[in-house]
Amino acid sequence: MSQDVRDYYDRNAQREWERLDQAHRKIELVSTLFLIEKYFPRVGRVCDIGGGPGRYTVELARRGYQVSLIDL
CA distance 25 to 67: 24
With CA atoms as reference, report the closest residue to 28 among 50, 55, 49.
55
pLDDT by residue for the chain (72 residues), tens only, comes to 688 888 888 888 888 888 888 888 899 999 999 999 999 999 999 999 988 889 999 999 999 999 999 987
Domain layout of the chain by residue ranges: 3-70
- At 1 the pLDDT is 63
What lies within 8 Å, CB to CB, of 44 at 6+ separation is 65, 66
